[in-house]
Structure 1
């Protein structure tokens, strides 16, 4: 999805009365959830994850450029790609268990990671059933649109 289109959707959600929007296109799926100030669970989880990037981001920002060309030859299997630009997280909060590990059996539609974009936590779901054979990003790493995240066989 085009970054300008994504920003427009985020602006529309923030200015409207809707609390959640999910768009599925041929090149990916985007879910935008507006934080509800009355719900204690959502604000408690989001800041915990949002606090992690300042410590990890300076270290993760520098290696992103050299790492991208090295990751271009993608191994065999189905590649799950990032549907947006943001920060990659393997778990819902810093102390919790990762959604998937290498060797995990996953089903289509099951959450496999989170990408934070503009202070919104976007759950990324598996688009294929199978076994995770590789995790191509580090926790807290900045990712680009279309960047390979996982290999599923």
Structure 2
């Protein structure tokens, strides 16, 4: 079974290559990575060698239907500020998963607009395959805008925050 870091590295390598689809099977585990499609990554663990699990087809349309509806209004809001956005650093999602703005439902958010952050500050958590991954800032600066909602599904490479870098 692949570790989350190995899957991240695969995603980065495939993103930089001209490969559009990558499939890997090992010991009953299967991973499929696709580019140029809303279905970015899927992972499934088979119950047994004789009974393959076919769950990829059902979740994909839900992701495809939900993502454009939320992305379009944000894109329309950001279009007038295109010149400003060019100077801002984007903190992007390193994986597909669920975005969480705070460490627990009753805790304060990690960051909000106006907060000063330093390099390696934790800005959010992304849950992928029941693992909670802390996402750190790559730059020092000020949070200008949070681009996603708490509990929202995010894609690999999707901008999460706009930061005015120092």
Question: Under a length normalisation based on structure 2, what TM-score does the superposition of the two structures give?
Answer: 0.55
Aligned residues: 107
- Asked if residue 117 in structure 1 is aligned to residue 111 in structure 2, the reply is no
Unaligned runs of 5+ in 2: 7-11, 16-61
Partner of 1:105: 116
Structure 1 vs Structure 2 CA RMSD: 3.3
Distance in 1 between residues matched to 2:92 and 2:138, nearest whole Å: 10
Partner of 2:67: 64
Distance in 2 between residues matched to 1:10 and 1:127, nearest whole Å: 20
- Asked if residue 126 in structure 1 is aligned to residue 134 in structure 2, the reply is no
Distance in 1 between residues matched to 2:143 and 2:5, nearest whole Å: 34
Question: Under a length normalisation based on structure 1, what TM-score does the superposition of the two structures give?
Answer: 0.59
Task: Say which SS state the counterpart of residue 88 (structure 1) adopts.
Answer: strand
Partner of 1:33: none
Unaligned runs of 5+ in 1: 1-6, 13-24, 28-59
Q: Mark the structure with the bigger radius of gyration.
A: 2
Distance in 1 between residues matched to 2:162 and 2:108, nearest whole Å: 20
Q: Is the 8 A contact 1:64 1:141 kept in 2?
A: no
Distance in 2 between residues matched to 1:81 and 1:96, nearest whole Å: 23
Distance in 1 between residues matched to 2:3 and 2:124, nearest whole Å: 21
Tell me: higher relative CO, structure 1 or 2? Use CA pairs within 8 A at least 6 residues apart. 1
Task: Describe the superposition over 1:86-127 as per-residue Cα deviations: whole angstroms up to 9, x where unpaired.
Answer: 000000000000000110000000100000000000000001
Partner of 1:140: 151
Partner of 1:95: 106
Task: Say which SS state the counterpart of residue 8 (structure 1) adopts.
Answer: coil
